[in-house]
Structure 1
Amino acid sequence: MSGGIGPTTKDIAVPSEGSGGDTIAIPEHHPHHRFLSLRQLNTLAVSIVLAASGMVAAGDIIIVFSSLPYIIFLSRYAFPPLHPSQSVEPPIFGAGNRLIAVYVAIGALLGLLLPIAYIFEGIMEGDKEGIKAAVPHVFLLASQVFMEGVTFSHHFSLPIRAFVPISFNALRMFTLIDWVMVELNKEAIAGGEQWSALRLLVGKGLAVANFVFWAFNLFGFLLPVYLPRALKRHYGDKEK
């Protein structure tokens, strides 16, 4: 997940086999490889199912659907690839970076796997409030992973690959704030005592942990570290 959860910059994506890429997920995609990886198809399926559940705001769905034509527009007129007919530009952080690999794995676990498990367990306990609060974050993160995979191609430059996790991460901060507020106030909701003490504790911990992790990812890594390096390399190579 480079920036989010997919193969792009530095967010949060499960590292692909043999990759240690750019951030949280930077699979070794090559121009002649299949367009969609199994991970991308899985995250696309998650996004579709959650969008169809009725628990995702129409505005978030519109943003996701409009993101692809927008990044194509940016790639053509603002940040065109330097070598569109050649191989994918190498990631900012070289393959084999163990710290990045661990960071990406934590992001994938904390941002996708645990929230999905929390949603399924909430269906069993009838925790509609907790499910509705967690779904938008998971939807946007799954969509981010998919879009990061799309941009990890020779058709897109490094600034475009940085734009996806940064924009999606920024958007998810609002959904994470909503999730945290719902979990912290859940006991005050009428009938809140019907939920187990363990679920109340897990819900608060998961929501707060995601907010802290993704806030750091955006303001401590993507903006001050990854984006400047991506732009520096892009314009440095352009001047050669």
Structure 2
Amino acid sequence: MSGGVGPIGTDIGLSKEDLQQEHPNSDIGTQNPYSYRRFLTFRQLNALTIIIVFAASGMVSPEDFGFTFFSILYVFFMSKFAFPTLNKMPDPLFFGEKNRFLSLYVWIGAIIGLFIPIAYIFEGILEGDKEGIKAAAPHVFLLSSQVFMEGVTFSQRFSLPIRVFVPIFYNAKRTFTIVAWLRSEIGKVDEEFGSWRRLHIGRGLAVANLVFWSFNLFGFLLPVYLPRALKRYYGYKVKD
């Protein structure tokens, strides 16, 4: 499970049957599935497309660009000096490959955090709601960057704590952008914002994202995901 909408035990890539065909002499069932993942998954390519489109349109501030660039450098720094990959890593799928609840949780995050906000931004372009676009764009850009970075770290080249660090790092940053988004929506009383329907949708969407991602950070990532990952990394027995 990722803290965003990234990998959850399995990702779009080669299936176990495909792996067995490509590596007939390998015992795929006992090996770490992350060692055979493609470099860029379909989810990562979608996230990268959103990043490029938002960057080219000028909707992203230099501060958000700088944060994303810094996150790349810091992830590799942490991976090298703080949480290097161990020789014998346990299977990182400790939430289960077929956990339907977590799969549903990820899809809800994708709908609330990406799909609807992207539609909201494109409708704002048609209605001329520059303030709404300016406020919602940072969240979508950072969440897309998070999805891309989660895909990068979801391999044997990175340790389990690094995979946990990425969603926590980005989720904490996006909490501030969502609060700024909500303030902008609440302040759109005497401004040009398009229609009243769009005004209420924008406010509801900002509130929904604030609630969901606050719970994700303070109710799942920090109290559940992070402790379990650190226990696995340092060799403690964790009851699945």
> Which bracket does the TM-score occupy, shorter chain normalised?
0.7 to 0.9
Return the TM-score normalized by structure 1: 0.85
Distance 1:197 1:203, change over 3 A: same
Pair 1:236-2:235 in alignment? yes
How many angstroms apart in 2 are the aligned matches of 1:116 and 1:170? 21
Secondary structure, in 3 states, of the residue corresponding to 2:189? Answer: helix
Report deviation, 1:154: 0.3
Equivalence for 2:224: 225
Report deviation, 1:30: 2.7
Equivalence for 1:163: 165
Equivalence for 2:115: 113
Unaligned runs of 5+ in 2: 16-31
Aligned partners of 1:122 and 1:128 also within 8 Å = yes
Query: How many pairs does the alignment contain?
Result: 221
Percent identity over paired residues: 60
Report deviation, 1:17: 7.7
Secondary structure, in 3 states, of the residue corresponding to 2:235? Answer: helix
Pair 1:4-2:9 in alignment? no
Larger Rg: 2
Equivalence for 1:53: 57
Secondary structure, in 3 states, of the residue corresponding to 2:35? Answer: coil
Deviations 1:144-182 (A, max 9, x none): 000000000000111000000000000001110111011
Correspondence list, 1:140-159, <5 A: 140-159=142-161
How many angstroms apart in 1 are the aligned matches of 2:179 and 2:87? 40
Distance 1:18 1:31, change over 3 A: closer
Equivalence for 2:26: none
The one-letter amino acid paired with 1:7 is: P
Return the TM-score normalized by structure 2: 0.85
How many angstroms apart in 2 are the aligned matches of 1:120 and 1:89? 41
CA RMSD of aligned residues (A): 2.4
Equivalence for 1:184: 186
How many angstroms apart in 2 are the aligned matches of 1:156 and 1:116? 31
How many angstroms apart in 2 are the aligned matches of 1:56 and 1:47? 9
Unaligned runs of 5+ in 1: 20-27
